[in-house]
Structure 1
Amino acid sequence: MKMNPWTLSVLLLLAGPLGADPGWHVEYPDSFCVVEGSTATIPCSFTHPAGQRVERVVWCPYSLICHLTVFNVYDSSKVWADSRFLYMGDRVKNCTLKIIKTVKRDSATYHFRFETNGGGYTGWKGVRVTVTDGEVVKVRSSVTDNVVKEGGQVTLTCTSACSFHQLDFHWYRNGHALSETGPALHLSCLTNDDAGDYTCSLDSSGQKTSAPWSLVVVEDEDRFDWHLTVSVVLKVLLAVFLLLLAGLVFAKRSAPGPEHETVYSEVVR
């Protein structure tokens, strides 16, 4: 069966050098959901035959053969690169790509290709990136009520249409940024200082910010009653002790001394 030279070239570029061992591989998710305006990280890893040195890495949209594509979002052999596409990987095995402030036109199928001193390989299946408006970003709570007792705990989760992927999260309390950056915010040993309005955002600009979730921290009545009971008992015990001590002192002072006994006996005689 005759094969079109162009088709043969494509297959060779995708599969690596002719006769190469199966060490050529690129691994990334089949698809990736991104909320418009957010920053997302696409995990990627690659392997190649031992003893070879990676000389070029490239990410490209649309095309199966990155080195023939006019537009590449990242190419290590070129000085120019789209500043919104950051290569977070290396030339060893990590090919992770970060997309900052995604826009609708970023929706595409992206391929990763690497070239060594012994050949090159493209991850032929690619990863389909879909940029969507998504649902409104929301804060969900591990408790049914937003009123929590002192000393209690609550977990807040930032959710969106794509929250199951590696998105950047930002948390705020009363409009002030918190240090936590994950999708879940764990609050434990709650005090009145933790009370307030909590919001989350998928980017630092706050364009995709949730409605506030209000946390109210109330005094633990059970714990308050216990402390009050202990305090009352201690006061009663102290009062009883003081009364007993005063009684002993009074009794000692009222008892007749030896000199009084002597005088009494002389008068009787």
Structure 2
Amino acid sequence: IIIIIIIILMIIIMHCFLNGAAGGADPDWHVEYPDSFCVVEGSTATIPCSFTHPKVHRRTGVVVERVVWCHSNKYCSIGNVYDSNVRADSRFRYLGDRVRNCTLKIIKTVKRDAARYRFRFETNVDKYTGLRGVRVNVTKDVKVRSSVTDHVVKEGGQVTLTCTSACSFHQLDVHWYRKGHALSEKGPALHLSSLTNDDTGNYTCSLDSSKQKTSAPWSLIVVVDEGDVIIKKNIYIYIFFILLKKFTAQCGSIIITTDFFCTLFYFRAFPPSANMFKLVAESRVLNGIN
């Protein structure tokens, strides 16, 4: 019986030693971070974090001697991605300090980074781990969504493009590109107004300037409305079908290529009894404007 009691006491002591601060019961010891954090694969994420501890100890005062970030381990005994006592060059950077800030930065996130992360700090008096942790989710998709349903917009009109994903963009710089060239506008939304022919092209968004994670292109064609006939200035349309799977349409200086077999442009009578024809674009296949 004595041996059993000793073993139980040792387990309790070890538990308190690993967790510190009486298992987190003391409100003076605390770690605060979001419940979950979503990041797009390939981008850089900054996880906000703060911690508190008793400012004064009756004998020595409190000095933080070590800070640790870990994942998939309750008390950071293993699986450390950052340890202030270990010099290592990794994708995990500690942006905090030893006073209050415990922010963690993850560079070029990958799918395996998805996990529950915990912060632990050790002082000259005690140790504490924020057991709740923060769940980091990693998603792949970045998409461009438009305020209009069609890819063809009349000259002088406007359209708003939005860079979206399953995540909200935490402290990320969203960059925009037209025909592969960077635009000066930044942010999740790109507003284009007073459209002209110069605005025609493929639009993509990226979550940082390195273009590590770029969306699929969204194609915009600006046309001129002349009464019942919609035409493009100085444009002559030639359509070529290649192997019934791929064709190229040359519209002046613009080359449109698609891997789908369908009609890119077609004419129909408007009205049926008249000799006027209306040019209609099948926007669902405009996925390759250079």
| Conserved 8 A contact 1:138-1:159 | yes
SS at match of 2:118: strand
Given the alignment, which residue of 172, 175, 180 partners 1:175?
A: 180
Any residues of structure 2 matched to 1:98-137 within 5 Å, and which?
Answer: 98-132=105-139, 134=140, 136-137=141-142
Counterparts in 2 of 1:19 and 1:200: CA distance versus 1, 3 Å: closer
1:189, CA displacement in angstroms?
5.8
| Conserved 8 A contact 2:16-2:23 | no
Counterparts in 2 of 1:118 and 1:8: CA distance versus 1, 3 Å: closer
* 1:65 alignment partner in structure 2: 75
Matched, 1:90 2:102: no
Once residues 194 and 215 of structure 2 are traced to their aligned partners in structure 1, the CA distance between those partners, rounded to angstroms, is 25
Structure-2-length-normalised TM-score? 0.60
Gaps in structure 2 of 5+ consecutive residues: 57-61, 227-290
Once residues 122 and 144 of structure 2 are traced to their aligned partners in structure 1, the CA distance between those partners, rounded to angstroms, is 44
* The structure with more radius of gyration: 1
Counterparts in 2 of 1:183 and 1:22: CA distance versus 1, 3 Å: same
Matched, 1:31 2:39: no
Once residues 187 and 28 of structure 1 are traced to their aligned partners in structure 2, the CA distance between those partners, rounded to angstroms, is 37
Once residues 80 and 209 of structure 2 are traced to their aligned partners in structure 1, the CA distance between those partners, rounded to angstroms, is 27
What one-letter code is carried by the residue in structure 2 that aligns with 1:55?
E
Once residues 68 and 126 of structure 2 are traced to their aligned partners in structure 1, the CA distance between those partners, rounded to angstroms, is 14
SS at match of 1:178: strand
| Conserved 8 A contact 1:75-1:81 | no
Counterparts in 2 of 1:125 and 1:81: CA distance versus 1, 3 Å: farther
Greater per-residue strand proportion = 2
* 1:214 alignment partner in structure 2: 219
SS at match of 1:209: coil
SS at match of 2:213: coil
Counterparts in 2 of 1:145 and 1:115: CA distance versus 1, 3 Å: same
Once residues 188 and 11 of structure 1 are traced to their aligned partners in structure 2, the CA distance between those partners, rounded to angstroms, is 62
Counterparts in 2 of 1:219 and 1:10: CA distance versus 1, 3 Å: farther
Given the alignment, which residue of 174, 195, 201 partners 1:196?
A: 201
1:181, CA displacement in angstroms?
4.8
Structure-1-length-normalised TM-score? 0.64
What's the C-alpha RMSD, in Å, of the aligned pairs?
3.5
1:63, CA displacement in angstroms?
1.6
* 1:79 alignment partner in structure 2: 87
Tell me: higher relative CO, structure 1 or 2? Use CA pairs within 8 A at least 6 residues apart: 1
1:175, CA displacement in angstroms?
0.4
4+ residue segments displaced more than 6 Å: none
What one-letter code is carried by the residue in structure 1 that aligns with 2:84?
S
* 1:14-33 CA distance string (max 9 Å, x none): 35268985122112222333
Instruction: Count matched residues.
Output: 216
Once residues 4 and 164 of structure 1 are traced to their aligned partners in structure 2, the CA distance between those partners, rounded to angstroms, is 48
1:207, CA displacement in angstroms?
5.0
Greater per-residue helix proportion = 1
Identity %: 73
Once residues 174 and 137 of structure 2 are traced to their aligned partners in structure 1, the CA distance between those partners, rounded to angstroms, is 19
Once residues 65 and 169 of structure 1 are traced to their aligned partners in structure 2, the CA distance between those partners, rounded to angstroms, is 36
Given the alignment, which residue of 128, 143, 146 partners 2:148?
A: 143
| Conserved 8 A contact 1:148-1:215 | yes
* 2:19 alignment partner in structure 1: 14
Once residues 136 and 189 of structure 2 are traced to their aligned partners in structure 1, the CA distance between those partners, rounded to angstroms, is 24
Gaps in structure 1 of 5+ consecutive residues: 222-269
